[in-house]
């Protein structure tokens, strides 16, 4: 168990790293952040920073030498780099979870092996394989790169009747390995934020109901409009996933819910998650503090929420809404300190709380 003044290394200096650094500081830990960008948002709250590539061996070794544990803020970091660190410093979450999340085929296979349902999927290794797979799933689906896609990037909706989409998809899968996911009927999207401690204790936050726009999370609302049975299923899947991976830290798992209340896993993220940002306004212990507690070996905190809430992301020029948001009652605003506003870029979020009804 880490003690006051010990150092936590954070690989990745975006908004998630920033919020982790804030949470770590509140618990009395020092943070050292590594990121290739000179003005990474997390640097503002870190005790020390390294401007270096995520796979820079010299910088990573120095980070390992200085820190008592290392974590990361997003999953597109080199597994090989962390493997090299594992002999000298603890890395949480482990590289098994990281590698599983980085490849969509590996991820789907992992869940299906555990008898956890996903949308129908096909490993696409060539344009010809795409044609065959489309025929098997009714001529429609979403082609995604197997690796390095997020917030709607690296994916194309395809329809056999729309030749332009087929042409674009074939170009994509000729360049890089892809996966085709068949369309499914669902009534809503939900997510669960769960944490597992070093001792194997698992705690889950309440489930959020999510709305996406252009592949980017727009809002998360708690409580979600789901039955107790569906809620219980999601919690069991989260516990099974965390335990199978011998995971330490916070994880976000996204689901599709059909009309019968059955669940299909969309994907998981081995880190704190955008759909869990509401926890900083509606819970005593946020997902960020929970993650720090887990990787530091501290007891997990309570996950009860004291309020209902709705979190909304500020994307690009949504920043123009800030003066209006500042006048809202019972609203927590969190800006990420990013110097440049760009279309599609997450600039902040705000969470409106209301009295808890149940």
Q: Looking at the predicted structure, is the pLDDT value of residue 87 above 80?
A: no
Element (H, E) at 188: strand 188-196
pLDDT per residue over 236-245, tens digit each? 999 999 999 9
Residue 140 lies in a domain: yes
164 and 125 in a common domain: yes
**Mean pLDDT within 73-100:** 88
Residue 53 maps to which CATH number? 3.40.50.20
- Domains identified in the chain, total number: 3
Distance separating alpha carbons of residues 168 and 174, to the nearest angstrom: 10
pLDDT > 90 in the chain, percent: 80
Residue 106 lies in a domain: no
> How would residue 83 be classed by pLDDT, with cut points 50, 70 and 90?
confident
194 and 168 in a common domain: no
Among candidate residues 181, 213, 231, the one where a domain is terminated: 181
Residue 25 lies in a domain: yes
Q: The sheet that has 90-91: what strands, in order across it?
A: 48-51, 30-35, 7-11, 69-72, 90-91
Strands 7-11 and 30-35, how do they pair? parallel
Residue 107 lies in a domain: no
Nearest of 311, 321, 315 to residue 341 by alpha carbon? 315
pLDDT per residue over 20-76, tens digit each? 999 999 999 999 999 999 999 999 999 999 999 998 989 999 999 999 999 999 888
Give the tokens for residue 117. Answer: 């349902």
176 and 192 in a common domain: no
- Phi, psi (deg, nearest 5) at residue 301: -90, 170
pLDDT per residue over 158-190, tens digit each? 887 777 888 888 888 888 899 999 999 999 999
> How would residue 3 be classed by pLDDT, with cut points 50, 70 and 90?
very high
348 and 208 in a common domain: yes
Q: Looking at the predicted structure, is the pLDDT value of residue 357 above 80?
A: no
| Residue for token pair 């330490």 | 248
pLDDT value of residue 165: 82
332 and 299 in a common domain: yes
Residue 124 maps to which CATH number? 3.30.1490.20
pLDDT value of residue 6: 98
Average pLDDT, the chain: 94
295 and 193 in a common domain: yes
Other beta carbons less than 10 A from residue 283's beta carbon: 24
Residue 110 lies in a domain: no
Distance separating alpha carbons of residues 178 and 155, to the nearest angstrom: 9
pLDDT value of residue 152: 55
Domain containing residue 281: 188-355
205 and 278 in a common domain: yes
Torsion over CA: 310, 314, 317, 323 (sign): positive
208 and 277 in a common domain: yes
148 and 195 in a common domain: no
pLDDT value of residue 128: 85
pLDDT per residue over 244-272, tens digit each? 999 999 999 999 999 999 999 999 999 99
pLDDT per residue over 104-158, tens digit each? 999 999 999 999 999 999 999 888 888 888 888 888 899 999 987 655 567 888 8
């Amino acid at each position: 168990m880490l003690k006051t003044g010990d150092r936590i290394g954070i690989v990745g200096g975006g908004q998630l790293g920033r919020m982790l650094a804030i949470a770590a500081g509140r618990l009395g830990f020092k943070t050292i952040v590594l990121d290739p960008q000179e003005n990474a948002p997390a640097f503002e709250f870190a005790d020390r920073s390294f401007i270096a590539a995520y796979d820079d061996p010299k910088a990573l070794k120095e980070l390992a030498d200085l820190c008592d544990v290392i974590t990361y803020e997003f999953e597109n970091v080199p597994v090989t780099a962390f493997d090299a660190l594992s002999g000298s410093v603890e890395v949480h979450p482990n590289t098994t979870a990281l590698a599983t999340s980085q490849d969509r085929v590996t991820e789907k296979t992992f869940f299906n092996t555990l008898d956890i349902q996903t949308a129908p999927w096909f490993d696409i290794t060539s344009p010809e394989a795409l044609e065959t797979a489309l025929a098997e799933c009714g001529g429609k689906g979403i082609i995604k790169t197997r690796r390095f896609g997020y917030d709607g990037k690296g994916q194309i909706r395809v329809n056999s009747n729309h030749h332009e989409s087929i042409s674009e998809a074939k170009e994509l899968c000729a360049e890089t390995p892809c996966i085709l996911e068949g369309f499914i009927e669902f009534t809503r999207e939900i997510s669960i934020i769960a944490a597992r401690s070093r001792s194997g204790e698992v705690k889950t936050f309440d489930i959020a109901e999510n709305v996406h726009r252009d592949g980017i999370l727009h809002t998360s609302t708690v409580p979600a409009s789901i039955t107790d049975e569906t809620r219980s299923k999601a919690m069991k899947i989260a516990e099974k996933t965390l335990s199978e991976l011998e995971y330490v830290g916070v994880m976000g798992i996204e689901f599709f819910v059909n009309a019968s209340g059955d669940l299909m896993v969309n994907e998981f993220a081995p880190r704190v998650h955008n759909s869990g940002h509401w926890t900083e306004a509606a819970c005593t212990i946020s997902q960020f503090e929970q993650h720090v507690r887990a990787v530091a070996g501290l007891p997990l905190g309570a996950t009860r929420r004291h309020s209902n809430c709705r979190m909304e992301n500020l994307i690009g020029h949504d920043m123009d809404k800030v003066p209006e948001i500042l006048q809202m009652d019972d609203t927590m605003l969190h800006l990420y300190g990013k110097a440049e506003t760009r279309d599609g870029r997450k600039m902040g979020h705000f969470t409106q709380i209301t009295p808890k009804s149940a």
